Amino acid sequence: MAKIKIKPIGDRVLVKHIEEKEQVRGGIIIPDSAKEKPQEAEVIALGTGKKNEDGKVQAFEVKVGDRVLISKYGGTEVKVEDEKYTLVREDDILGVIG
């Protein structure tokens, strides 16, 4: 994998959606525009961390390489060199897939 040129800040996490395999049902291919955004993603980079009331940085509960479930409509999509990524807050991560 190439080095990513985006470094999240604060409690943000850079993820890349894991695309589902294209399925053909009854001979009908669903166009990309009608497909739902996948909720499963891989953590690519972590931000600098969220500070608590004491000013100390809290550790992230996820790590680079984790497969996670994210909120369906959470985050901001970004495109870098023809690759699509999403920046989400750690709070938008629903869970880690084990």
Residue 68 has pLDDT above 60, yes or no: yes
What integer pLDDT is reported at residue 14 of this predicted model? 94
Say what the pTM is: 0.77
What integer pLDDT is reported at residue 50 of this predicted model? 87
* Span 44-66, pLDDT tens digits: 999 998 888 888 988 899 999 99
* Span 1-45, pLDDT tens digits: 556 788 899 999 999 988 766 555 566 666 655 556 668 999 999
Q: What are the domain boundaries of the chain?
A: 12-96
Rounded distance, CA 42 to CA 32, Å? 20
* CATH superfamily of this structure's domain 12-96: GroES chaperonin (2.30.33.40)
Q: Under 8 Å CB-to-CB from 1, ≥6 apart: which residues?
A: none
